[in-house]
Chain A
């Protein structure tokens, strides 16, 4: 292993600009003649818009335009769409409502954009917005997904009776029914997977500029996938032809899923910039982010697991209501279906699974993918069931898991997925040793001496990453292919630019991707640039989410490198006057087998461009190759996280005293970066379990609308995390990478809740397990049980 190649913890090359304040985030960009957009948003969860009087606002100082849904419709700007078709069990297509970028006639959630003011300064735009008079007819609202389908519930969209978007299912209900009848033990749980605000620290930004001379539009935005944004805004919203729309996503300050989606503000900025003939800039503030960035999770589930007398899992069934909010966001339909129910087998050889999912509209912010997207919800169901099952059957939770692990591969689950490889016992064994599981009872006794309830909880998660084989997702309703592209451009001096269709917003691609290239070409890492995030530079790409950039994005780079090497060998053959088949390439040097004749990488690169040694008819000049890599399977990262807590029964306060994570990500390019991804994922999962939760009141008002009310995890709630890996090479991609970005967020909530419930001796507690919730659960458990 070289010091900068695959497996080395290379310090990140992108850090120089971030630690010196020289990053280039979207809000750092200003354009000449720029105006500012300020959105007037509905204060009501559900209201008819009878009229909008914007005369006073339009006459206010600095105002360039005041625009509403009426003008948007008149200009025939299309709706935002959800790009993944789900069919209900009766065969009917999902009920997708219209989603105009500015509300037209009705506002459907607090924060729904009703009008936009474009002014010379942001302060002027904000001041003018206060002068807009909107006559609302307030309608009854619904925020609770469990109540959305009930008779008499307020109806949000005509296209979706009973607020029901789809009633989907997966699996064989009869086989599951039969299995449950034969069970010796059935564990049942009611689970609420709490609604979360993704909260990337950089709020969203959109800057749009129209060039009236060429008809080109440029959008700078905080996107995880600028090409998908361009495609949707061109093909569905109809803003501009694709070739006349450029989307640039420069440094992006975190995404976690929330910056995958195409948002109304981007559409409005583009449209307004064309109307007013000046650049338009919109920067979300945090309050606006709570009201407009897609939220995550929000499932209500009843789940059951059937065991035989020996503790073998016979079957699992689950019924879930998934809240998709007021409109269907870009990929929202896929999250509670194919990203959720397909993982309900967990790490176990569960023979039969049946899952029903009803997706509903409510008068809340749209819900879509958030770090893990469906897989944290699935893991929570499976890992809570098996832990509670172990307690009910008085079995050791580690032993019950081990008994049920999938041990032979490939393994076909009853819910679509084919697990390629893995060794779940290896990660469990290592985690048990690292966490000193054997010593837990002693630690529990010692904790009791100082008045604390100590608990331990496992989470043996699996996830489907490397998203995704295009044909497979196409057959499941996805509107796009999920391959990735790469282009390797070798310069005449031998330095290299790699263009990738993935996008980095904290993952360190500029370093890890360069490590792969450095090792392959035998050149220094500082002679390699990774280029991403600009549709004028990178031809096409699907972006970054679903832990796909390593497994899919790097695979595309490897494929392009194969082609570069093949062509460079041809050039070297001419230079060295040898047969192409005799050229060997190693450590940045081309040599003729069995001779001392060689040419350095830089010499070959130069010769490819000067083309003095070969005729163009035989070999084209230049050294630049592109590749599209379409995966043949999902990848399956898996692992074991063990959380240990101490609960103060008097105050309900939970302290996480130890955390052990052993993950199998396949081959790891940069262990330092991968550990960082695990730390961050765990923190988000712990946040979900201990403190985070979006709260709406009955009228659909957002109660948790700022960081004063929405409890973000701070540094002081975490212990030092013990993180390690086991390695089972992924068989389906060239480097054997599984992916690591979401694992922590998927594993953590179940580990925390299994530990807390172990400590307090009752399963009746929902996330977030705040001190008040824990205290209440302890008190309720003390009450005499009804006979």
Chain B
């Protein structure tokens, strides 16, 4: 469960995030939908405590991210936009490194790694060095290390970036399984199909602000449009007009 209230962050004169509030519930997939540069990544970076907000509050399972960043990081599994692997380590070693950093015992690290290798069906590449991995293999490895500590909350920044159709489909399937486990899944995207195919809850962000939120159906209804894309255009357009008047 993630709760965000009045989040703000400026870089110089640029208000990258300008009063964002929303919540992402357990057992749901929540999308942060917005164009490039709308403030999605900055919002997520504040959520996973890489950046400090100028104002506002973040609660993850009731813990304040600014007061106890380390505790919040333990509750989160994060797949950031940058998801580089150590190319001279094998996939398994990459995953076990994160297990050790999460403080898992040696035995638990091994069993968790084996579980994830199986779940993500990547046993065949586990002992290979990640140098020369395909995008899909890289993503699987990065996902496995993200989830090594079995986090209740999973944050993903544009997770399907650079993936082919097959990998995108299996990733969606995987996210649904995370939700069905009762986890809180929050991801950012600018792709409509992803939102309509996956999400229980959508938060639309434009120019650092939340312009609308709700289920995909509710958003279509609110905009009076049949397709989500039209609804999205109308909703951020309305916001822009609102700013002008």
Mutual binders A and B: no
